[in-house]
Structure 1
Amino acid sequence: MLLNLLFLLLLLPFYVQSSDPTFNDDVLGLIVFKAGLEDPKDKLTSWNEDDDSPCNWVGIKCDPESNRVVQLTLDGFSLSGRINRGLLRLQFLQVLALSRNNFTGTINPDLARFWSLQVIDFSENNLSGSIPDDLFRQCGSLRVISFAHNLLTGQIPDSLSYCSSLVSVNFSSNQLSGNLPSGIWFLRSLQTFDLSNNSLEGEILGGVANLYDLRAIKLGRNRFSGQLPEDIGGCSLLKVIDFSENSLSGSLPDSLQRLNSCASLSLQGNSFTGEVPDWIGKLKNLESLDLSANKFSGRIPFSIGNLQSLKELNVSMNQFSGGLPESITSCVNLLVIDVSKNRLTGNLPPWIFKMGLQSVSLSGNRLSGSIPHPSLKEGSYQGGLEVLDLSSNALFGEIPSSIGALSSLMVLNMSRNHLFGSIPVSVGELKSTHVLDLSENWLNGSIPSAIGGAVSLKELRLEKNFLSGKIPAQIENCSSLTSLILFQNNLTGSVPSGIANLSKLQYVDLSLNHLSGSLPKELTNLSHLVSFNISHNHLQGELPVGGFFNTIAFSSVNGNPSLCGSVVNRSCPGVHPKPIVLNPNSSNSSNGSPNHHRKIVLSISALIAIGAAAFIAIGVVAITVLNIRVRTSMSRAAAALALSGGEDYSCSPSKDPNYGKLVMFSGDAEFVAGSEALLNKDCEIGRGGFGVVYRTILQDGRSVAIKKLSVSGLIKSQEDFEREMKKLGKIRHDNLVALEGYYWTPSLQLLICEYVSDGSLYKHLYDGTSRNCVSWRQRFNIILGMAKGLAHLHRMDMIHYNLKSTNVLIDSSGEPKIGDFGLARLLPTLDRCILSSKIQSALGYMAPEFACRTVKITEKCDVYGFGILVLEVVTGKRPVEYMEDDVVVLCDMVRGALEDGRVEDCVDGRLRGNFPADEAIPVIKLGLICASQVPSNRPDMEEVVNILELIQCPLEGQEELV
């Protein structure tokens, strides 16, 4: 039977349907399809080639009259492989659903031969390449098509507009580019249209009103510009509108007020201007309204109160002024309100505690007055409030004593106001609270011992107040605490020993207080500590020895004159360093007398110095030998190098070892200067850990960069090398240097890359003068671009390993492009020694986990390098700088400045104050978080991109900073 199957496989493309009625075409096609798959969970075990019919197979549905397959549904089966031609045998197929698998390869245009196909769902796979134009040439019956969450590139085919029966189109979360197809608005049956999270651009032209049956349009997270279509209100059945995170501008079109059915309107992250019109209150079915991160001004419309179905209101990060309209109390279903980062004034309205809200964020405004009491006695508080953020306003008065009534609170943030008085005892009733932030106020009195009742606390921030008394011992009841930040108060007494029982603690800052006594020795048991700052107190005795305290920074303990230990370079009384005695009888005098034997006494410091010197010497010798070997092999191959173009074609007989293989992913490799001039020293433009880079020009006028790899002695086989090159060649992003092709011989490998004209970030930071230094806006765009490029790499399961300012290039428009990504994968194994010495050659960028063999190397090591780059871009200082008698580590310097409240001083002095502090300070803090010593504390790069986009906000009344 197996031999027969193989025979049929060979004949399949040419096979004409058999006249034998007993032969089932569907069985053949499905078995052929299965033969090309990996089925790790054995989902397809019921597919038996000996069966006469597949109608009882899992995932198969047949027409009851003809017994022919009409539906193939294998969603979430964990299948992998390519979608082969076997499916073309299913001539009566109506539904093809293969979502949530691991299919690879490109989309077969022959799917257009299915005249009866109504549903195509390939979402959540790893399909690549472009969407074939021929796929929609014959699509009269097609109603639903989804390629969402794949790796598709290129443009959306214009032929899509031929599919007049389409009801749902979903190409979201790919890498599609270009404009919308011109005929897209003629799909009059369309109900759902989702192209979100791509790189589409251009204007959204009018004509959308033709889609009179449209229910959802999602074009968010693209690059569309211009205004919203004026006729969008003609789609009277629209329920979901998402144009978020584009570059749209102008005012809201008046036709929007006709969308009476609209339940969700998201326009956040654009550049819309003007006032929000009063007609917004006519959209009475709205449940979610998000206008955040735009340039809206004026007052929040009073008509908002007409939206009685509204559940979420977000108008944050705009330029709204005036007070919160009282009419909001009419939004009886409202659960979430975010009006943060505007210019709102007036008192804090008491209704925030009376509406049953779940989340209230009023931070970053100009609200004043006192905080109203949430009182259970009056029956006015309706429980359920989980997030209350009143930070960065001008609120004054005392914290209400009844604050404990907010029993559901998870986040309470009243920081950066003018609150005074004591912390109410009722905070101990906040059993569900994770974050309590009362920092930067005028609070006095002691920290109540009742704080131990807040047993769910993870973060307690009380810094920059006037608190006095002792740190309550009851703090040890908060067993989930990860951050305890109490610096710059008037606290006295000793550090409670119970703190050593808070096993999850990561960040502790008790600096700038009046604490005394000795530190508990048990603090060394805190295995998750990242920072422990006790500087500028009156502590005494010996610093704990072991764990985190063996590497604690001097800046974290200085300012305590009575502390002793090696970190403060002060010996403790009665404690003397014990010398190490090695081979006391090994050096005899010439007369052999035992009285003349010499003892060799070496301190621990001397031993470490000797060991380090020996290690460096061995490393130098090893690298020298390796370089000689590589250069020798390259010199032998260079003379034989001859290049000529062609995609995926070897340019010389493979039997001749003196010739190599050149592959170009697009175009050809006809070089203006000829192949013999490619590696001319006059064309050299840079050197790095992987080799020398040259510039050359193709016949079509394009400049390319040629990287001659210097790791030939370590590199993988040709098969592995080419496999990696093809993977790298598919990675395309505006903030990544594109790989155009490669050249291979056993002793010489060249990478042909996109040429980026304006040099490296390193050059821009350090080779410029104060007159033409990089502006703050340019620096921010560079940081954001690097984050986007790195996030894309991580989405492609690629770790860079070698982030540094010389590997970030700047193009002619000022956009950053990350280069040298993926080259570590060329090595036979990702050995840490090789990575640290060969690849991570730039001191200061290497994540600390490289030094620990028990910690897995993940994308978080790239996040660390990115954090260092952020600090480098903002400060204009190198990661490690050698002074006359000191070594300054950038990360430690910035962290120290942050702890001392001098974070603005870290910004590059050449900017001379020409930077927005409300952007610069959060960016610096983000850099420090990314450069955390503990990998799990670093955010993912997708989160970093989101944070940066939230930080970026326009400044009214200021000219562009240059």
Structure 2
Amino acid sequence: MAMKMTSSSSSSSSSPFLIILSLLLSSTFLNRYSSEELLQLNDDVLGLIVFKSALQDPLNSLNSWNEDDNSPCAWNFVKCNPKNNRVSQISLDGLNLSGKIGRGLEKLQFLEILSLTNNNLSGTINQELGFLINLKRLNLCNNNLLGEIPLSLSNLSSLQFLDLSQNHLSGPLLDTLFRNLSSLRHLSLARNVLEGQIPNTLFKCGILNHLNLSNNHFSGNPFFSTLTRLRTLDLSNNALSGSVPNGMAFVHNLKELYLNKNQFSGSLPYDIGFCPHLLKLDFSNNLFTGTVPNSLRRLNQLKFLSLSNNFVNGEFPQWIGEMSSLEFLDFSNNGLIGFVPTSIADLKMLRFLSLCNNKLNGSVPNGLFDMKLDVLDLSRNEFTGDIPPVTSNFFENLQVLDLSRNNLMGDIPSEMGLFARLRYLNLSWNHLESRLPPEFGYFQNLTVLDLRNNGLVGQIPGDICDSSSLEIMQLDGNSLTGSIPEEIGNCSSLSLLSLSCNNLTGLIPKSMSLLSKLKILKLEFNQLTGEIPQDLGKLENLLIANVSYNRLVGRLPLGGIFPTLDQSAIEGNLGICSPLLKGPCKLNVPKPLVLDPYAYGNQIRGDRNREHSKSSKNHRFLSVSSIVAISAAALIAFGVMVISLINASVRRRISFVDNALESMCSSSTKSANLAAGKLILFDSKSCPHWLSANLESIINKSTEIGEGVFGTVYKATLGEERTTMVAIKKLVTSNTLQYHEEFDRELRILGKARHPNLIPLKGYYWTPNLQLLVSDYAVNGSLQAKLHEPSPSSPPLSWPNRFKIVLGIAKGLSHLHHSFRPPIIHYNIKPSNVLLDENLNPKISDFGLARLVTKVDKYVLSNRLQSAYIAPELACRSLRVNEKCDVYGFGVLILELVTGRRPVEYGEDNVVILSDHVRMLLEHGDVLDCVDSSMGDYPEDEILPVVKLALVCTSQIPSSRPSMAEVVQILEVIKTPVPHRMGAY
């Protein structure tokens, strides 16, 4: 084969040796051509054929690339400069190519555009690309390239466009990488694994107008305000920190600014409003503090504004209505106060509005319900008053409406049923007291209906399931009556149905067995009767079911989840048949048919005989009734008399014993100024009046060892010989039980709570004005002191000991929750209420003390138990707080043990919530960065699932948290050295 050399080829600076060397990667050429023939190839043809040899081309897109051609200018996806017939552009986008970017391209010395996007190219970026000195546009985005960005790219002084995004590039960016790229206008390195600080030389690329470094691991504090010609800046989803300096006015042409999902702190730049062309601004998910900058009101072209998930405070901006172009506004999860101005309705272009989880109050502006919104979220605020009337504009486009966790009252507007596009409706945790509007059956696209914890009355409408799209229906915690409608079976898409804590009656409908997608069924705390339909056992996807505390009887369904339900899911009924229950088993067996022999007279008798027979029968019946009544009355009277005699005898015996003990144990040192009380010790025969004789020496400042939510704790030795060390808690008397009988009953229940991981209650001392609790004294102190206030000589807790503490606390709480009915709820589980014995075994103290409060409601709890361990529902308006609030506190305690950090830490410029911080690290795959380094080595396959369990326990939704019995099971699985346990978890 003979080929003529072009003039451009002959003038090339490459030597024959270098050309042959570049072909060593292509075995095809070595086998096919001699060295003399290789020298005659056109440089562009040669380079492209070598480049092609390293690629796999499953679609045969490059078939036209033929090494026998004199020029590549007619090849597909190749363009040449007509002045010199040299290749100027290669665009191989989306051809499903794989393999590597091999050698050869460096021969294309006139190449200006190289685009290989949306393929499956792997390996590193070839260093030889740095020899393409005329290259203006390099686009390698959306491949599988890895390794570091080669420094040779800094030689591309003509480069204007560089996009390496959506690959797996890693490592830091060398500071000299951008030193010669003064022509760069567009740079995107987004969605890689790059780290370290952003090079200072980048901020000297004076004509750069598009910069995207998002979704990497960059750190430090960038000074992007020097890039005065920027139009788009995206630094989102990195680890950048520090304050954002003022000087935004110099970035005059900026249109889009994304700093979200970093760790920026300090105040928002006050002059951000002096970027008049801004269209999108996202500062969300940072640590910003201070108020909303007043200059924002100048941005009348801004369409997107998000400050969510920061610590922004101060008054809600009353000028918000001046930002007339806004389409998206998100101020959620901050600390804004005040009311929302009516002028917000002037934002006619607004489609998304979220102000949730602030401290906003006042009424919901009527104008909001006359806007063409797609999403409206005002949840977790302090709004009051009625839900405004709904207009046709409002329900035309609305897809998401969340007004939950406010103080809204009144009726649910019936017009809500006309929202044709509504997918999510949440009005839960308010004070709404209406009936469920029948118009709710008109929903066509609704997937989530959450009306929990209101005051809704009346029956559940039968047509509420006319929409087959409903997946979640939560009506629990209301005052609904009547039966569950048979039409519930029409909700064919339901995966969660919760009707618990209402006043529902009647049978569980058999049509519920048609809900084939149902995963969670909660019917507890109602008045449902009859048997559970056996067909419910056919629900193969059902994972959780609870029918406890109803009036159900009979056998459980044989299939599905029902044979494996634990006691807590079925207890509190009239007679469910299960070996887990100690009560009676009642079956709905029909009663035998008994015929009255007098119901029919002898047909051959006359009317007179029939009347005589009837009269005789009635007479006999009345006689028997009279005898039964008289006998019953006599028996009752006799029983009353016997019981009275027994009670009198018992009282005399108790009085005799008390008098005898009093005379035996009287003390001449009894203080006259203290009311005489009685010490009750559950497992001791110590003298009952010893404590009152020594109160002054016990209850004083010198013996005080701590102070808790329910009172002050003192150290004492019990008994005349002072040999038993105990802890004495002096209860706060306000709002505690004032009758000795009630106090004694509750304390004796707590006294029965004996478990290796509980501090046993030994007894109590009671007078109307003074109540003391006696319990074991813990010599080694609390977990709080061991974890956060260790002595210099005390070694840090190792991971095995921390895991043992976590498991022990879980077992203790599980005993309180599942061994008593109603369960004993701690309400304030935290390290200071966990004591350690000599072997570092945990023992929970102060459990069940809320039972001694006359009214355990959210007001008492929120006033007394305010801390980072308190579940969010304790601050809301529910009267049905359950043991899941302990699960929340337990989850926070786990995170504290794993990280060694306090649940809330206050810095100079920010506040760190531990659970949120760990959750963010887990999402980014960096959760091991938060593990307490002081505990030494630890197994990752234990730490990771324990952290995940803690985050599940701290879910904001109580029903999403596991029970403590389930927690114990999970921890024991983690503890068991089973191969591949992490995958199963």
TM-score calculated relative to the size of structure 1? 0.62
What is residue 220 of structure 1 aligned with on the other side?
236
| CA shift in 2, pair 1:82/1:268, >3 Å | same
- How far 1:375 moved relative to its partner? 4.4
Shift in Å, 1:774: 6.8
Name the counterpart of 1:9.
Answer: 23
After superposition, the C-alpha distances for 1:184-213 in whole angstroms (9 at most, x for unaligned) are 2221111101111111111223xx444332
1:355 matched residue in structure 2 = 371
TM alignment of 1:170-569, pairs within 5 A: 170-205=188-223, 208-376=224-392, 381=394, 383-564=396-577
The residue aligned with 1:735 is none
**Which of 923, 933, 938 in structure 2 is aligned with 1:812?**
933
Does structure 1 retain, via aligned residues, the 8 Å contact 2:455–2:478? yes
> Following the alignment from structure 2 to structure 1, what is the Cα–Cα distance between the partners of residues 324 and 588?
75
Cα contact 1:316–1:341 (8 A) shared by 2: yes
3-state DSSP class of the match of 2:384?
Answer: coil
CA RMSD of aligned residues (A): 4.1
- The answer to whether the 8 Å contact 1:132/1:157 transfers is no
Q: Could you report, residue by residue, the CA deviation over 1:425-466 in whole angstroms, capped at 9, with x for unpaired residues?
A: 111112221111000111111111121223321110001111
Residue deviations 1:12-55 (CA, integer Å, cap 9, x gap):
89999999996222232222222222334443333333444333
Moved more, 213-222 or 764-773: 764-773
Q: Equivalent of 2:151, from 130, 133, 138? A: 133
Instruction: Give the whole-Å Cα distance in 1 for the aligned partners of 2:230 and 2:936.
Output: 38
Report SS of the residue matched to 1:450: helix
Residue number in structure 1 paired with 2:80: 62
Deviation, structure 1 residue 121: 1.4
Q: 1:408 to 1:905 in 2, by over 3 A?
A: same
| Residues 509 and 312 of structure 1: CA distance in aligned 2, closer, same or farther (over 3 Å) | same
Partners of 1:774 and 1:481 lie apart in 2 by 34
Q: Give secondary structure in 2 for the equivalent of 1:764.
A: helix
- Determine helix, strand or coil for the equivalent of 2:45: helix
Q: CA deviation at 1:401?
A: 2.4
Greater shift, 478-487 or 44-53, is seen at: 44-53
**Aligned partners of 2:480 and 2:588: how far apart in 1?**
37
Preserved contact between residue 161 and residue 186 of structure 2 (Cα < 8 Å): yes
Question: Which amino acid in the other structure matches residue 476 of structure 2?
Answer: E
Change beyond 3 A, Cα 1:19–1:546: closer
Q: Please give the secondary structure, in 2, of the residue aligned with 1:522.
A: helix
Partner in structure 1 of residue 53 of structure 2: 35
- Cα distance, 1:568 vs. partner? 5.5
SS of the residue corresponding to residue 27 of structure 1 reads: helix
Question: Is this contact kept in 1: 2:302–2:326, CA < 8 A?
Answer: yes
Write the letter of the residue equivalent to 2:470: L
Q: Deviations over 1:826-874 (max 9, x none)?
A: xxxxxxxxxxxxxxxx8xxxxxxxxxxxxxxxxxxxxxx9666433588
Deviation digits for residues 668-715 of structure 1 (CA, Å, limit 9, x no counterpart): xxxxxxxxxxxxxxxxxxxxxxxxxxxxxxxxxxxxxxxxxxxxxxxx
Maintained 8 Å contact 1:759/1:810: no
Contact persistence 2:952–2:961 (CA under 8 A): no
Please give the secondary structure, in 1, of the residue aligned with 2:933.
coil
CA distance in 2, matches of 1:551, 1:866: 28
How far the C-alpha of 1:258 sits from its partner, in A, is: 1.4
Is the CA contact (8 Å cut-off) linking 2:554 and 2:585 kept in structure 1?
Answer: no
Equivalent position amino acid for 1:10 in 2: L
Paired position in structure 1 for 2:175: 158
SS in 2 for 1:481: coil
What is the one-letter code of the residue matched to 1:309?
A: S
Change (3 A) 1:445 1:219: same
Q: How many residues align?
A: 653
Q: Distance in 2 between matches of 1:536 and 1:28?
A: 83
Aligned residue number for residue 764 of structure 1: 802
Q: For 1:369, give the aligned amino acid.
A: G
How many angstroms does 1:762 deviate by?
A: 4.6
CA distance change for structure 1 residues 449 and 27 in 2, over 3 Å: closer, same or farther? same
Q: 1:195 to 1:372 in 2, by over 3 A?
A: same
Listed one character per residue, the Cα deviations across residues 576-609 of structure 1 (whole Å, up to 9, x for unaligned) are xxxxxxxxxxxxxxxxxxxxxxxxxxxxxxxxxx
Q: Which residue of 1 aligns with 2:669?
A: none
> Is the counterpart of residue 146 in structure 1 residue 172 in structure 2?
no
- What is the distance in 2 between the residues matched to 1:11 and 1:505? 60
Any unmatched runs of 5+ in structure 1? 576-756, 795-804, 821-841, 843-864, 877-893, 909-926, 932-939, 945-962
Q: 769-778 or 307-316, which moves further after superposition? A: 769-778
Shift of 1:96: 1.4
| SS at 1:34 equivalent | helix
Q: Which residue identity lines up with residue 9 of structure 1 in the other structure?
A: L
CA distance in 2, matches of 1:866, 1:427: 44
Once the two structures are TM-superposed, the CA of residue 421 in structure 1 deviates from its matched residue by: 2.3
2:949 maps to: 871
- Structure 1 residues 406 and 90 mapped into 2: Cα distance closer, same or farther (>3 Å)? same
Question: Take 2:963 and 2:381, find their aligned partners in 1: how far apart are those partners?
Answer: 22
> What percentage of residue pairs aligned between the two structures are identical?
36
Contact 2:555/2:587 (<8 A) preserved: no
3-state DSSP of counterpart to 2:296: helix
Letter in 2 for 1:450: D
Structure 1 residues 59, 763: closer, same or farther in 2, change over 3 A? farther
Rg comparison, structure with higher value: 2
Structure 1 distance, partners of 2:557, 2:147, is: 59
Amino acid at match of 1:870: K
Which one of 20, 30, 44 corresponds to residue 26 of structure 1?
44
Residue ranges of structure 2 left out of the alignment (5+ in a row)? 2-18, 590-794, 807-830, 837-892, 904-912, 975-982
Q: CA 1:867–1:185 in 2, change beyond 3 Å: closer, same or farther? A: same
SS at the partner of 1:84?
A: coil
Change beyond 3 A, Cα 1:560–1:866 = farther
String of CA shifts for 1:881-930, please: whole Å, max 9, x gaps: xxxxxxxxxxxxx99x956999899999xxxxxxxxxxxxxxxxxx99xx
Distance 1:459 1:496 in 2: 18
- Partner Cα distance (1:170, 1:98) in 2: 15
Q: CA deviation at 1:782?
A: 7.8
SS in 2 for 1:161: coil
Cα distance in 2 for partners of 1:483, 1:427 equals 18
Aligned residue type for 1:325: P
Does the CA contact (< 8 Å) of 2:895 and 2:947 recur in 1? no
Q: 1:103 aligns with which of 116, 121, 129?
A: 121
* Contact 1:94/1:116 (<8 A) preserved: yes
- How far apart, in 2, do the equivalents of 1:404 and 1:762 lie? 56
- Out of 47, 55, 78, the residue aligned to residue 65 of structure 2 is 47
